Structure 1
Amino acid sequence: MTTTKPRPTGSSGSADDADATYEHHLTADEQKWIDKKKYAWIFSIVPAAIPLIIWGVAEWMKAIDAPVFFAHASWFLGPIAVFILIPIGDFVLGRDGENAPEEFVPQLEETKYYRIVSYLYFPVMLASLILCCWQWKYGGMEWYDKLGLAWSMGMTSGIGIVAAHELGHKKTGFERWLAKIVLAVPAYGHFYVEHNKGHHVKVATPEDPVSSRMGENAYTYLLRSIPRQIPRAWNVEKTRLARSKKGQFNLDNDVWNAWLITIVLWVALVIGFGIGILPYMVIQAVIGIALLEFVNYLEHYGLLRQKLEDGRYERCSPEHSWNSDNLTTNIFLYQLQRHSDHHANPTRRYQSLRSDVFAPELPAGYATMIAAAAMPPVWFAIMDRRLMQYYNYDIERANLHPSKAAKLRKKWNRVAAKQQQTVKAG
């Protein structure tokens, strides 16, 4: 069996590569290919259950009369799981590297099992949220225990945005509304519009507030990016509705109706459990949003689509997203790390996303890279050189932070000159 399919454009390819094709002969193994990760996807629901799990751990600690320190520390197991256990899993299990042959993608896309797995995130997440509210109200917890539980719920909310991201790209109304409901927990409903109709259009350009720039640290990125995403999403919907002669506050406005779901959910929880839960609801939302935005920060750092002669940007290709193909993180984040294929095929379901050899590669999984981004000098030391190596030390190919551009040009032009001297000498 053979198949002809497009070859992606990489940093080392020519412009004609995008239209080139190659013949691929399916091997015997490919002809009988099965998804080895099929039942591992059940573990993608585990982040939704983080508060439920740590509540169980806390109760067990009480039952065995564990030292009080461990009982209090158990409420902070959410961030420990995300930033310690998952990176350990990445180290132990290593890279994934397996792609489904394209001939099997339609079969994968239509298998309902994968959809059910992604749908299950919401009811488990909702159960976790209700448990948190009950614990904050009736659990007799110290304030720092409540803070730990809020932080852990924030991990669930942040990864919940990834689950909503998976559903929000799909064409069915049920999946899109489910995405909005999930986004209501961290109060980030505008993401549904902003990501799909804003970020995906302007990705890897200076016009995109979600694409981080070389020399920009994660904290200034958050302060720049988050405030600009809301008006962009609103304006997208305002423009869309105006074409149908509808007002911007119409319930068809996908930003407005997503915010209304948030209001209904939060008001219902406050009525049910009291105003005392509100500070912890805000904390979990802030942490969940920060987790998502740190991921956004690292996904396109410094990468730039070049402008064509007609003033438009070149088509988005694999070279405009940083990929990471660590197996453990892939399972827990619905293969979000295969980000290049996601931008090339936004409606493709998570189980079908492919690892692209032409995309630039992060040195570690997302959780590890978030930790690096939290320490800007560490991030710059790792990523600036990696970015320049990918662009063959041509600083003009990168998306530069305007206030750092002159300094970056001076530094990397000097490095490029040294590289050229080394090549000539060799």
Structure 2
Amino acid sequence: MNDLAERLATAMRRFAGEGELSALSRLSGGANMESWAFEWSSGGRAAPYVLRRAPSAAYMADRPFGHADEAALVIAARAGGVKAPEVVGVLGDADGLGTGYVMRRVMAEVAPTKILGDPPPSLLADLGRELARIHAIPLATIPPAIPHMDTREALAALKARFFDYGGDRPVIALAIRWCEDHLPAPADPVLVHGDYRMGNVMVDANGLAAVLDWELAHLGDAHEDLAFGCMTVWRFGRLDRPALGLGSLDDYFAAYEAGGGGPVDRDRFRFWLIYRTLWWALGCLQMGEAWRSGADRTVERVVVGRRTAEQELDLVRLLETEAPESERARPLPPSQPAAPAPTGEPTNREMVQAVRDWIEGAIKPHAEGHAKFETVVAMNALGIVLRDLDAGTRAEDRALTDELLSGTATLARPGLLAKLRRAVLDKCAVDSPKYAALAAARAEWRQ
């Protein structure tokens, strides 16, 4: 921490002139990048800033553009009237801080559950208008390194990644095949934020305050951005509010169009809702692979890797409308029986439970900041293991996966939808038992 503070203070003198750094602390969250809050005092006044960084250039090696281009994009967005943070400087090799940039800190709420618990009345309209502004940024002002997404090529890349990760999850195969069969015609490209959702926007009493996290930006179809924040996972339990957990799709689309966005095509929106749910299912698997390969050994990675179950549940709920009514009404097969109660020496389950209880009682009460966040994640990981040891539930089925990818099996096959429903219910109950869509699916499927 002291070394980081000293190096960051040296960089800030280059960005902002003489001053002193204080109150350096790592912010919680951030699935890919580190964020550090601090204050910089100059002329008797202290101002809040945020350092966004990756620990090393190697961490950024497989990304289409680096932090210098990301910072340039944020600057261009702000110049185009978007509520993007103000960038004050980009790190260089000599700073010894990895790659990243420094922004003035926006003092507003970012936690989705807090925002959605009491959102400002204008927020849905704000988000629709702001997305229209992002899509209106002149392409000539966007850094050349920002890539163009060809949907057909991107889907083929997702399919290849699926095979890299085992290629044996039937629900993911079902979604890939559906996307292949429903690929839309190319759209006129706009700047797509790529991660426009609750968790990446800041909100104050007046409404939208800032749009964060531009690392997935690219040129592509505007409907991708419209759909992403409407995924079930990013509505944080507000299942009755399909637009970002805030309201209706009609109101969201109307705000987007009134703000200068193009007409919304509902079929194209549905494609992107399914595509991005598929994309995040594979993104979760990728997190697990990052841990397994040694690229990132944080406990957060293995836990997020198990969130694939959430997306598989959501994909079944999105795609089940393709099945005949007789299949949608078919009862589900039973779950596997629970493991028998232990006797004799302590079982693996009991040993894991003992470690989890120790973390909860001896470690968590004394943890602070990011360490507390990691403690909770570790407890979640052990909770998954406990439930998995009891249930023995697996999601892999290579033979069925191959049939779905080839089109030999469809949701018209008798009993297939019921089998997939049972599989995703049982897997999500192990991996994410508090996921709001799990309770909704149980009710819908009479479980």
Do both proteins adopt the same fold according to a TM-score greater than 0.5, normalized to the shorter chain?
Answer: no
Q: More strand per residue: 1 or 2?
A: 2
Which fold has the larger relative contact order, with Cα–Cα distance below 8 Å and residues 6 or more apart in sequence? Answer: 1
Q: More helix per residue: 1 or 2?
A: 1
Q: TM-score, normalised by structure 2?
A: 0.29
Q: TM-score, normalised by structure 1?
A: 0.30
